[in-house]
Structure 1
């Protein structure tokens, strides 16, 4: 399915994604990561900024509270509706990363979190970011490398199979490794890369682990019995406070020349 036209999601799938994003927004370190992204953007009172792939809208609301003229855009109409219901004072619009509803050079900041891995053409999206940013404007991209879930489990080989099979279902699972190069190719300067790693040891992240196991099962990489046995172990680890999941999040920032 082409991300430029539609998400291809059902309403239930969007609702499930919202639930996962809510977990991500409230997990340990997430608030600090968002705050760091606003710092790198240079969010200032009255500055026009966009959050691309805004999801349920928390970042847009927080930047608005900081005085920015923040707009959240998302290709999913249901997602935009949910964001508007949660944050009625903020500005949300339906649009995709390749055709943003802004004039050339209109914005001072461009932010995208956990978005570029679903795009079929990340370079094109960065080109659109360059179009809407004014000279000196800032771009911040936040994302994970889908091969770098670090999970403790009894069966290391099965765990590797699950992580890599789930990664292979993603359009651009390793785009964070390319983000610096993509920005340089597009003419951005002052490119920096930071990493913040969350470590989770309780049952909070079980829905994420369940998504990994189901993705691997649905792709045929592992059997249903293997998925259930692996997830049962993780549930027990979560119950006993012995779960271990480390998830690096990469933050790439740059300035439009």
Structure 2
């Protein structure tokens, strides 16, 4: 990722991560990890590193892994007391059974072969280790609009741009296929009724227009509808987040 792309992305990530709902979801994922003090917990796809720092603050030996060197550099700058490494979810820099906790938030859907990454997670986790996966199903965005058919097209076509858009609904089966046990799944839905979600809605339509899935005029009309809804206090969008957890036998 270029420096320019990171500079544009990080403020958006920060805004999302600071929201009460996102903070509550992270806290729930830490509860499900059940990390003992000093236990090695890896956060795969750690981004700017907030979750890694929070886990470290709770007493875990937390380590962030991200494929992007620029993001790792930013995380090290922000949280200098925490360890971060450049690494691939499909080839983690750990020995067999070295890790006691594995967390991946909004990562699995970006992978072309989620099963391969979970097999790697299974390799590095010790017996009794915990894995927690968090993510959205890109086909299940709920958005009210004046044009339901166009909205369905936008949601579907935007999902088509994601490597594994339905990975979140597959979390349970992916974990079972990788040999994990004690699998649980929770759904936490965030509801947006104000302008805070407008940048996301705008980008949804713009990506579809850029990929010629809809026309520019359709995108502009749809975006204008969402902005007017926000102005009139009539915006409604809901994003279900799926959290799956499991134990290594």
- Where on the TM-score scale, by shorter chain, does this alignment land: which range? over 0.9
Alignment of 1:26-105 (within 5 A): 26-105=18-97
Confirm or deny: 8 A CA contact 1:43 1:66 kept in the other structure. Answer: no
Match of 1:208 in 2: 200
Confirm or deny: 8 A CA contact 1:28 1:198 kept in the other structure. Answer: no
> Which of residues 132, 135, 147 in structure 2 aligns to 1:155?
147
Deviation at 1:23, TM superposition (A): 2.9
Matched, 1:20 2:12: yes
What whole-Å deviation, never above 9, does each CA across 1:184-243 have from its counterpart, x for those lacking one?
Answer: 111100001000000011111111112211111122111111111111221222233321
Confirm or deny: 8 A CA contact 1:48 1:68 kept in the other structure. Answer: yes
> Which of residues 210, 230, 250 in structure 1 aligns to 2:242?
250
Unaligned runs of 5+ in 2: none
TM-score normalised by L of structure 1: 0.93
Say which SS state the counterpart of residue 179 (structure 1) adopts: helix
Say which SS state the counterpart of residue 60 (structure 1) adopts: helix
What whole-Å deviation, never above 9, does each CA across 1:37-78 have from its counterpart, x for those lacking one?
Answer: 000000221010000000111100100000000000100111
Deviation at 1:12, TM superposition (A): 2.5
Deviation at 1:101, TM superposition (A): 1.2
Alignment of 1:110-121 (within 5 A): 110-121=102-113
What whole-Å deviation, never above 9, does each CA across 1:160-207 have from its counterpart, x for those lacking one?
Answer: 111111000000000112111111111100001000000011111111
Unaligned runs of 5+ in 1: 1-8
Deviation at 1:151, TM superposition (A): 0.7
TM-score normalised by L of structure 2: 0.96
